[in-house]
Every structure is written in structure tokens, then in C-alpha cells.
Amino acid sequence: MAKVLIIGAGGVGSVVVQKCAQVPEIFSEIVLASRTLKKCERIKKRLDRPIETAQIDADDTRALVSLVREIRPNLIVNVALPYQDLSIMDACLATGVDYLDTANYEPPDEAKFCYKWQWDYHDRFREKGLMALLGCGFDPGVTNIFCAHAAKHLFDEIEYIDIMDCNAGDHGRPFATNFNPEINIREVTQKGKYYQEGKWIETEPLSVHETFDFPQIGPRKMYLMYHEEMESLVKNLPGIKRIRFWMTFSDAYLTHLRVLENVGMTRIDPVDFQGCRIVPLQFLKALLPDPGSLGGGYTGKTCIGCMIEGKKDEKPRRHYIYNICDHEQCYREIGAQAVSYTTGVPAMIGAMMMLTGKWRGKGVFNVEQFDPDPFMEALPHHGLPWTETLLEE
Ligand SMILES: NC(=O)c1ccc[n+]([C@@H]2O[C@H](COP(=O)([O-])OP(=O)(O)OC[C@H]3O[C@@H](n4cnc5c(N)ncnc54)[C@H](OP(=O)(O)O)[C@@H]3O)[C@@H](O)[C@H]2O)c1
């Protein structure tokens, strides 16, 4: 029995709240706080059990500390934006509350994805006897747990990992992003990067691609990108020779993105406009569909998983572990599209792991540092079944 404070009433927040509400024996009290109170109220109306709501600007650490002192939660689940990570971690330290998120901190003025800022909190969390769990969505999150599961059960030695994220869904809009547009476009337009033989190798944005035949979907072109889980996996799976991350994009998405980039609409530096300073990407976000609103009419599936190669009993092996998620099924269940669903469900399960003591530690952790078994067991029970195949010996 625990009280959870969920911060962020967007597409992912709506899933986390509804999924926590389905497990009252653990999440006995739920508080949802976000910048815009009416978004919290809208989510509250979807539930058949009472929750509390609150307005908060999570960038304001002092206001957040007062709210946390008033609510006295056991855990804060941060599904606002990565910009708020450090401010919420500071509030956790000030109030003695555990922390969980799904995306690593990045400074608003620089699209730089790395765990350093948050890993630097390790000693402070450890000294206070608190736990912070980072990157507990799908990717990062479940993809790291698939790797931990492979290291525990399938391989003596893991050599190569390819994380492949395919969204073959159709939301019927000319251009939309499946999670926060600003964060998504910053991620997609940065340089690609992968790890090989002890070195990070940079590539021009979306310049490297391959085609993969995704189960239940078919062949799709996927592009090499940098993604944050590679940084923690390289650290936590010593001996790995190569790790890459791939994501599929439709030609229409890429054409829109190229035009927006070419005209300067994806810039993250402020420009003068009629006497105001505006950030073009933030203005673009205001025009694009809210990711939480894409669910109705969204058809098709996502397939996210890890292709892992290595050795077992000195013989080479290749395993593919993946989840398929159906947009329409997610919408029927909780009014969400599959990208929000596949992020929100693991966040709820991670919270469950922490609150039941199945995953405990003092300090700042990534999910692959814990026993993958209880998490893997919980995934299908909460809507995310997974498949494991042995491709060759
Ligand atoms: N690991 C994964 O697999 C994965 C996948 C997808 C997304 N994510 C992460 O999940 C998070 C949420 O994504 P989303 O698609 O739900 O985004 P979203 O729909 O834009 O929702 C973000 C929510 O956070 C609120 N918020 C923003 N700044 C805030 C602040 N200063 N204080 C309080 N609330 C604030 C927003 O409020 P307003 O509406 O008032 O602005 C909005 O309700 C992002 O960090 C994203 O990177 C992780």
C-alpha cells in the first residue's frame, strides 16, 4: 500500500495513472500533478476510482518541495519532460522521497543526451538512503531489461546488440510525433552514434539505414540513431563489442522533417519575432497535434526489441526478444496510442518493483542493474507480452 505522486499529465502520464489505478493493492493513493491542472482533471475523469490532482510547475523546485511535503508520497514518478529531471530529483532529496523517470535529463538549450547529470546524484541519493530509477519506459527501459534477461538466462557472453524500434502505425495526420514533439524532434535531428570496440562512432543524422523484416509488420527501413540506453548498457554489460539503436520512419515523416529543418523550424536557439524571443521548435510544438490525442483512429502496430548475439557454452547464438503492441487495442483499453502505452506501462511496473521491494538500492540506478525476472514476469500481465526467439546456433 503506497502513495504515488505522478508528475506530467501528457500522453504517457495518462497511461501511468490509469495503469496504477488498475493495481489498487499497491497504488492505494494516487496524486497527479502537472503544469496545466485541467489536463489532470481530464485524466481523472477517465478513472473509476478517486485520485487527487494538483497544479505544479516542476521547474520550480521550491514549489515542488512544498507540494511533496504536503502530499507525502512514497515515490515520485516523473513523466513530465526531461528538462524537469534534476529539479524533481532535487525535490526528492529535500523531502526524502524515491524517484523514477523514463527519459534522461537534457538542458533546454542543448540537445545533449547523457546520463552524467543524473548519475552525479548517486552519492547524494545513497547518503540519504533513497533510490532513483532512471529510464524506466520502453526504450530506454524494457529494452535494457531484455538485455539483462539475455545476460542472465541466454548468454555467457554478449557481443552485439541491435535495439530496433518500429512504429508501423497510421494516425491519419500528415505529420505528428508520437511523444512530446519538442523532445522527439530534438532526438531525431541529432547526429547518430553507436559504440564499437571501445569507441563511440558518430554518423550524420539519419544517414545510415538498413531494412529489417519486423514480425507481424513486414520489412521496414530503419535508421541508425543515438539513444540513451546505449550509454548505460555499455557501462553495465562490460565486454560488449558493439551496440546500435535503430528506428523506423515513414518517407512522409522524413520529408516533413527535412522541410521543417531546412526552413529553420527545428532550431532550439531563440530568435527575435515581432519584439519577442521565441524558440522555433517550441512554436512548432504548439502547432503539432498533442501526442495524447492521436489514439482515436490510430491503426497498426509497434514492434520494439533487441537482436542480441553472443556465446553460450562457447557456441555462437543469436536471440531476438521483442514486444508487439497494437494501437487500436491500447485505445480500446485506456484511450491511448501504443507509444504512450509502451512507455507508461513499464513506468508503472518499475514503480511497482520499487514499492514492493523487489528492486531496492540506495543511489541512482538504471533498470538493467536489477534482477530482470520479476519485471519480465509482470510485463504480459499488464498488457505488454514479449516473445523470445533463438535465430541460430
Ligand atoms: N523511455 C521511453 O520509452 C519513452 C518513450 C516516449 C516518451 N518518453 C518520455 O516520456 C515523457 C512524457 O512524454 P509525453 O509524450 O507524455 O509528453 P507530453 O504529452 O508532452 O506530456 C508532458 C506533460 O508534462 C507536463 N509538463 C511539462 N513541463 C512541465 C513542468 N515544468 N511542470 C509540470 N509539468 C510539466 C506537460 O504539461 P503542459 O501540457 O501543461 O505543457 C504535459 O502534460 C517525456 O519525457 C518523454 O521523453 C519516454
C-alpha dihedral, 349 to 354 to 359 to 361, nearest 10°:
150
Q: Is the Cβ–Cβ distance between 78 and 347 less than 8 Å?
A: no
Domain boundary (70, 101, 134) is at 134
Q: Tell the residue nearest (CA) to atom 2 of ligand 1.
A: 137
Q: Is the CB of 36 under 6 A from ligand 1?
A: yes
Q: Is the CB of 183 under 6 A from ligand 1?
A: yes
Q: Which residue has the cell 513530465?
A: 80
C-alpha cell at 261: 529543418
Ligand 1 atom showing the smallest separation from residue 139 Cα: 3
Ligand 1 atom showing the smallest separation from residue 182 Cα: 20
The verdict on residue 352 lying in a domain is: no
| 82 and 193 housed in the same domain | no
| Among candidate residues 381, 373, 364, 385, the one with its CA nearest the CA of residue 135 | 364
Q: Is the CB of 192 under 6 A from ligand 1?
A: no
The verdict on residue 96 lying in a domain is: yes
Q: How far is the CA of 180 from the centre of ligand 1 (A)?
A: 6
Residue 245 to residue 193: CA distance in whole angstroms: 8
Q: Tell the residue nearest (CA) to atom 19 of ligand 1.
A: 10
Domain boundaries, position 163:
142-336+385-392
C-alpha cell at 286: 504548439
C-alpha cell at 295: 489514439
Q: Mark out the alpha helices in the chain (DSSP H runs).
A: 11-21, 37-45, 61-71, 85-95, 116-119, 122-127, 142-153, 181-189, 229-236, 251-262, 280-287, 327-334, 338-355, 372-381
Q: How many CA atoms lie within 13 A of 56 on its CB side?
A: 31
- Identify the pLDDT of residue 347: 98
Ligand 1 atom showing the smallest separation from residue 291 Cα: 19
At residue 67, the 3 state secondary structure works out as helix
- Identify the pLDDT of residue 110: 79
Q: How far is the CA of 356 from the centre of ligand 1 (A)?
A: 26
Ligand 1 mutation target, pool 39, 62, 81, 343, most atoms within 8 A of CB: 81
Domain boundary (109, 134, 159) is at 134
Q: How far is the CA of 387 from the centre of ligand 1 (A)?
A: 29
Residue 65 to residue 133: CA distance in whole angstroms: 19
Q: How far is the CA of 207 from the centre of ligand 1 (A)?
A: 28
Q: Is the CB of 64 under 6 A from ligand 1?
A: no
Q: Is the CB of 81 under 6 A from ligand 1?
A: yes
Q: How far is the CA of 82 from the centre of ligand 1 (A)?
A: 8
Per-residue tens of pLDDT for the chain, all 393 residues: 899 999 999 999 999 999 999 999 999 999 999 999 999 999 999 999 999 999 999 999 999 999 999 999 999 999 999 999 999 999 999 999 999 999 999 888 877 789 999 999 999 999 999 999 999 999 999 999 999 999 999 999 999 999 999 999 999 999 999 888 888 888 888 999 999 999 999 999 999 999 999 999 999 999 999 999 999 999 999 899 999 999 999 999 999 999 999 999 999 999 999 999 999 999 999 999 988 788 889 999 999 999 999 999 999 999 999 999 999 999 999 999 999 999 999 999 999 999 999 999 999 999 999 999 999 999 999 999 999 999 865
- Identify the pLDDT of residue 136: 98
Residue 243 to residue 135: CA distance in whole angstroms: 17
| 221 and 266 housed in the same domain | yes
Q: Is the CB of 39 under 6 A from ligand 1?
A: yes
Q: Is the Cβ–Cβ distance between 21 and 27 less than 8 Å?
A: yes
The verdict on residue 64 lying in a domain is: yes
| 295 and 195 housed in the same domain | yes
Ligand 1 atom showing the smallest separation from residue 11 Cα: 16
Give the domain CATH number at 156.
Answer: 3.30.360.10
The verdict on residue 376 lying in a domain is: no
* pTM of the predicted model as reported, rounded to 2 decimal places: 0.96
- Identify the pLDDT of residue 83: 93
Domain boundary (110, 134, 158) is at 134
Q: Tell the residue nearest (CA) to atom 26 of ligand 1.
A: 80
| Among candidate residues 7, 26, 199, the one with its CA nearest the CA of residue 103 | 7
Q: Is the CB of 136 under 6 A from ligand 1?
A: no
Give the domain CATH number at 13.
Answer: 3.40.50.720
Greatest Cα-to-Cα distance within the chain, rounded to the nearest angstrom: 68
| 209 and 312 housed in the same domain | yes
The number of folded domains in the chain is 2
Ligand 1 atom showing the smallest separation from residue 184 Cα: 47
Q: How far is the CA of 179 from the centre of ligand 1 (A)?
A: 8
| 106 and 152 housed in the same domain | no
Q: Amino acid identity, residue 233?
A: L
| 321 and 174 housed in the same domain | yes
Crossing angle (nearest 10°) for helices 338-355 and 372-381: 130
- Identify the pLDDT of residue 393: 55
Q: Amino acid identity, residue 121?
A: Y
C-alpha cell at 28: 492505494
